[in-house]
Structure 1
Amino acid sequence: MDKLRNLTPLQLQTSVKKCIEAYKLAVDFLVSELPFASNAYLPYNLQLTLLVEFFMICPHPSIHQRDTLKKWFWHTSFSAFFRASNYTLLRGALVQVREFANNKVNVLEIDKNINYQNFVNDTFSLNKASSKSFILLLAKHCPKSILDGSSIDIYKALSIKNQYEFHHIFPKNFLKQLGTYKTQPKQYSC
């Protein structure tokens, strides 16, 4: 923050424009490379922050960098990497993203494994990062309508977060028949 105070108005204006362009590139990356239709499905806000930082440094990434960013996004989403973020974790992630953007490192290391058992057994709720990750994973695989087999327009289906539509993923009556419907229906957000 102190560095900003020493900038001239022209320097500040230039920095703001560069940040806006980086933000647009980050959003474009999410929409074109991942099944994003709404920021409501972003598992962690820090993912967008770090993508903006990357695109501020590297507005024209290589194919390798784009592929690495996609892997990084999915790994940080499913491992809950940013769930309990602290200064040390954030600082390390920022340094790593900057080094990656400047081609000083070839990979983005994530020192947290994906715990598949926790993910599978987690309760579904639209305000949870794990549920948002699950929705994006389903959307990535080009879902089809069970009625007629036609492709589902994920951008239309996910453009507005609608908690009432997710009963199709976890239908209450079906879950009750299986004996898996919990006594707290809000855990399924249906």
Structure 2
Amino acid sequence: MPNEIPRLTLVLGGARSGKSRHAEALVEALPAPWTYIATAEAYDDEMRQRIAEHRARRPANWQTVDAPLALPEAIRSQPAGRPILVDCLTLWLTNLILAERDTAAAAEALLAACERPSGPIVLVSNEVGLGIVPDNALARRFRDEAGRLHQALAARAERVLFMVAGLPMQVK
């Protein structure tokens, strides 16, 4: 049926691959209202502009919740049955690392929140494991933690999509 999506969908892809737009379309195929849980923090003008562009393209039926660190709590706080879009997990992971939070505990809390969602969830994340091995420890840690998080979520998701040049490829 066109208006049904799985309980948990993971949308992966590279930068500017069309992940967010495709994820928004998946959620918008369901009855409104929808919740957009944003993990970005606007540290500079470029990021402020990107956030403004994302917000401007979404219709008024979206409720935006900013959750740069408290993502599991934001998911659990949503009204029953409301479709949720989380954009994006790699920004959330970056925020956790920079804030020196326990990323393993945060990932476990996210997995638990996704096990019992109040409504369908679409998670967006950057696939960062397709390039060369980073030359510094922080970047390697980020890549490794993102890869582990993606694997754990993909194992639990009913659907996993990989975006390439705006085209969704169904992985699972």
Q: Same fold (TM over 0.5)?
A: no
Q: Point out which structure has higher relative CO (alpha carbons under 8 A, 6+ apart).
A: 2
TM value normalised by structure 1: 0.25
Structure with higher strand content: 2
Structure with higher helix content: 1
TM value normalised by structure 2: 0.27
Please identify the structure whose Cα radius of gyration is greater. Answer: 1
